[in-house]
Structure 1
Amino acid sequence: MIPLRPLGVGEILDGAVSTMRSHWRPVLGISLTIAVVTQVIVTLVQGALLDTGLATLGDPTAPLDDAASLTTVFGAGLVYMITLIGVVVATALLTTVTGKAVLGRNITAAEAWRDARPRLPALFGLILLILLIVTVLPGVGALPGLLAAAAGGGAAVTGPLLVLGVLGAGVVAVWIGVGFVLAPPALMLEKQGLVKALRRSRGLVRGSWWRIFGIWLLAMVIANVVAAIVAMPFSALALVFGTDAGALLAGDDGFGWTFLVLGGIGSVLGSLTTLPLWAGVTALLYIDQRIRREALDLDLLRAAGTADGTRPDGVPGS
């Protein structure tokens, strides 16, 4: 799927797409199964909110202690967690597929599941730890402003403290998050423990932070743009056939199950692009960093060809 040497940006993106195309059966099977299961659960949760908290989403005057508002917050958090679980499982399985594809080997969805299943608990712990770090930090950054507000400080003091604190903590959170972006592939492909995978990622990212951030951000933008284009027709159909225009104009909740189902179909189709592309790019970034730092290409050549480093097609490795 990739040349066994240090990779450029185009080669990483092309390798991820080539994996999706050449190994479409396991990639499509894994992505579709996870996307459908998670979206069905998400749609049911959102449907349960239709008569409770969903109507308050556009009401800025709703009190924070209102039961509907609390239900909305809880439902949004639950939807986020369900989506996260789906992304984690897809990353685990598709990273395994990409690792095999680099060696030119085929793997079925069932084989990927058997290989990745023992690592899923550690992977869940890893992702939750990373999310905890990158979500708690902005709250810590906002603490000085909140304390100043509690002490009776004026808007001229609390406002800048809040803005600067959140922005500064956000920058630190992004820096830490990118440093840990290669931890999932290290955990899955090297069978590392949680803490060792985090350390491994930090070591591989060190000195290449901006490059990894740029490539991962570019892949995320491309995946989301394609997903939005794919989902756009279903979003339009959801607005046309799944909303009550009169209720919306009157300021009431005009959404219904038809809106949620049609939107969910679009989300599933969009996930068929985002899930394998994110997983593929992350796995290939990990492999590229190991090639650059540890001459992993020589090991890959031996694994893909013969013990003397000859490629499967007979061309000597370099």
Structure 2
Amino acid sequence: MNDSPGWATPGSSPSEDRSGQDGQGSKGSGSEGGAGGTQPPAQPSDDPRWSAAQPPPGQWSNPGTGEPAPAQAPQPQQGPGWGSPGQQPGARGGPSYGSPYGGQYGNQYGPYGHPGAPWGPPPAAKPGVIPLRPLGLGEILDGAVSTMRSHWRSVLPITLVVAVIVQVFGVLVQKYVLADLDTYPRGDSTIDLSAGDIVGYIALTGATYLVQILGTILATAMLTMIFSRAILGQPSSVATAWRESRSQLPRLIGLTLLVGLALTVAVGVLIVPAFLFESLALAALTLLVLAPVIVWLGVALSLASPALMLEKSTVSKAIARSWKLVKGSWWRIFGITLLTGIITAIITGIIYYPLSMIGVFGFGNGLDSVMDGSASSSWGFLIFGGVALIIAQTITMPIQAGVTVLLYVDQRIRREALDLDLARAAGIDTATDPHPGAAPGHGG
């Protein structure tokens, strides 16, 4: 028998089916060689119930190899997702079936697909924007864009309102407050900063960033709920997203502020010696050492937000969940997050720079205002730049939030068989399709 992983064991051996009959026929039979001997077993060619071509005893060929197979015991066909004999369909904790992903997500047909389609994985259930199996890079990005496209009535109002509020506040602060602070030279003047100017500048800049962070948190919370429904193929609305996310909003705010405060304090404490010794080189060296640590922690905690929202957990549990899910996949999550950041930065640049230049050169003093530093406070630059950022954030915010949510779902599918739970939540009958998640090819 062939019990190698990736193949279902063929039917029972013909010798087993005939063992009882042969045993009864041989009892008490003599042989030509003398009394008490045994009669030689009949050859398959002597029995009309046997095929003329038989494999060697105890050996069976795999389907598709071209070797002869027993006519009375054909290889049973099984649909995608079934395990080995004795394995309950859909049972957790079963053996790996040759998939590079391991665990219960293995493909019982090995890494080359199933018989009849040797170069591709079995199809996976796809009730919504992603197939219910481990995802590749393209599928994560496509899922984020597909959700924004198919659920635009829910997604765009959220991101548009948040972007408008953030940019209007930023424009007003820039025009009426920051422009009065001498934080840069104008023409032949020199910078003359007082302690009050520095404190005021930091406070107003911090307030602007705080409004932006709170707006992003609100949008992220509601978009997470929309994406969770889009995965299951369920409709969503702004009211539904708000109702499902508002109970976790205080915790999400606390999580974001806690992580941001911890990173800020860590950087501040470690860079204090550079200020004490008044050494610019030491400050640069400290930042150079801190940058990889900050990036590493940022990626390790990047899945805390969807874990908090979708699992309805506490801040500490969400941090622990993100740490656990990212462990062993840090470089993959870092690469996808970095690529998403590059894509959104390119989109923002394509929209922002042409419109802001139109504001400067079309409704401002042109290159002179850029040279003397007054362009940043001109109405042309502020309005056109603000409109450009509103458009850019309306487009990029759902992509970034969607990639984070889909990375979280992908990690749980790979580690915790979330695809089975998602299939049941989507109304897929796991009794007839016991393993809707099939391992993809080598992409992503």
TM-score (norm 2): 0.65
Could you tell me which residue of structure 2 aligns to residue 155 of structure 1? none
The question of whether the paired residues in 1 share the 8 Å contact of 2:171 and 2:386 is answered with yes
Choose which of 141, 157, 160 in structure 2 pairs with 1:29.
Answer: 157
Bigger helix share:
1
What secondary structure does 2:277 align onto?
helix
1:111 matches 2:240: yes
Structure 1 residue runs of 5 or longer lacking an equivalent are: 150-157
Shift in Å, 1:165: 1.7
Once the two structures are superposed, what CA deviation does each residue of 1:113-152 show, in whole Å capped at 9, x if it has no partner? 1111111111111111111122222223322323333xxx
The question of whether the paired residues in 2 share the 8 Å contact of 1:180 and 1:201 is answered with yes
Could you tell me which residue of structure 1 aligns to residue 72 of structure 2? none
Cα RMSD after superposing both structures: 2.3
Q: How many angstroms apart in 1 are the aligned matches of 2:145 and 2:293?
A: 31
Could you tell me which residue of structure 1 aligns to residue 274 of structure 2? 145
Could you tell me which residue of structure 1 aligns to residue 58 of structure 2? none
1:46 matches 2:174: yes
Could you tell me which residue of structure 1 aligns to residue 117 of structure 2? none
Matches within 5 A, 1:68-79: 68-79=197-208
Could you tell me which residue of structure 2 aligns to residue 57 of structure 1? 184
User: Alpha carbons of 1:72 and 1:243: their partners in 2 closer, same or farther (altered >3 Å)?
Assistant: farther
User: Alpha carbons of 1:208 and 1:252: their partners in 2 closer, same or farther (altered >3 Å)?
Assistant: closer
1:227 matches 2:354: no
Once the two structures are superposed, what CA deviation does each residue of 1:223-275 show, in whole Å capped at 9, x if it has no partner? 12112212333212211234334863773634322321111110100011211
The question of whether the paired residues in 2 share the 8 Å contact of 1:45 and 1:75 is answered with yes
Could you tell me which residue of structure 2 aligns to residue 152 of structure 1? none
Q: How many angstroms apart in 1 are the aligned matches of 2:428 and 2:248?
A: 29
Choose which of 392, 406, 426 in structure 2 pairs with 1:270.
Answer: 392
Q: How many angstroms apart in 1 are the aligned matches of 2:146 and 2:408?
A: 17
What secondary structure does 2:407 align onto?
helix
Matches within 5 A, 1:1-318: 1-49=129-177, 51-53=179-181, 55-58=182-185, 62-149=191-278, 158-245=279-366, 248=369, 251=372, 253-254=374-375, 255-308=377-430, 317-318=436-437
Q: How many angstroms apart in 1 are the aligned matches of 2:176 and 2:223?
A: 32
- Greater shift in the superposed pair: 128-137 or 245-254: 245-254
Q: How many angstroms apart in 2 are the aligned matches of 1:7 and 1:29?
A: 28
Q: How many angstroms apart in 1 are the aligned matches of 2:207 and 2:311?
A: 31
Aligned partner of 2:146: which letter? S
Aligned partner of 1:317: which letter? P
The question of whether the paired residues in 2 share the 8 Å contact of 1:43 and 1:264 is answered with yes
- Greater shift in the superposed pair: 245-254 or 129-138: 245-254
- Greater shift in the superposed pair: 299-308 or 89-98: 299-308
User: Alpha carbons of 1:110 and 1:175: their partners in 2 closer, same or farther (altered >3 Å)?
Assistant: same
Q: How many angstroms apart in 2 are the aligned matches of 1:168 and 1:182?
A: 24
Q: How many angstroms apart in 2 are the aligned matches of 1:159 and 1:10?
A: 43
Aligned partner of 2:154: which letter? P
User: Alpha carbons of 1:62 and 1:283: their partners in 2 closer, same or farther (altered >3 Å)?
Assistant: same
- Greater shift in the superposed pair: 302-311 or 117-126: 302-311
The question of whether the paired residues in 2 share the 8 Å contact of 1:141 and 1:168 is answered with no
Once the two structures are superposed, what CA deviation does each residue of 1:258-309 show, in whole Å capped at 9, x if it has no partner? 3211111101000112110010000000000101110101111111123536
What secondary structure does 1:111 align onto?
helix
The percent of aligned pairs where both chains have the same amino acid is 45
Shift in Å, 1:95: 0.8
Q: How many angstroms apart in 2 are the aligned matches of 1:107 and 1:167?
A: 44
What secondary structure does 1:7 align onto?
coil
User: Alpha carbons of 1:296 and 1:88: their partners in 2 closer, same or farther (altered >3 Å)?
Assistant: same
User: Alpha carbons of 1:246 and 1:86: their partners in 2 closer, same or farther (altered >3 Å)?
Assistant: same
Aligned partner of 1:102: which letter? I
User: Alpha carbons of 1:51 and 1:12: their partners in 2 closer, same or farther (altered >3 Å)?
Assistant: closer
Larger radius of gyration: 2
Q: How many angstroms apart in 1 are the aligned matches of 2:367 and 2:301?
A: 48
Q: How many angstroms apart in 2 are the aligned matches of 1:104 and 1:310?
A: 20
Q: How many angstroms apart in 1 are the aligned matches of 2:210 and 2:169?
A: 11
Shift in Å, 1:108: 0.5
Structure 2 residue runs of 5 or longer lacking an equivalent are: 1-128, 438-444
Could you tell me which residue of structure 1 aligns to residue 96 of structure 2? none
User: Alpha carbons of 1:307 and 1:142: their partners in 2 closer, same or farther (altered >3 Å)?
Assistant: same
Shift in Å, 1:161: 2.8
What secondary structure does 2:154 align onto?
helix
Aligned partner of 1:260: which letter? L
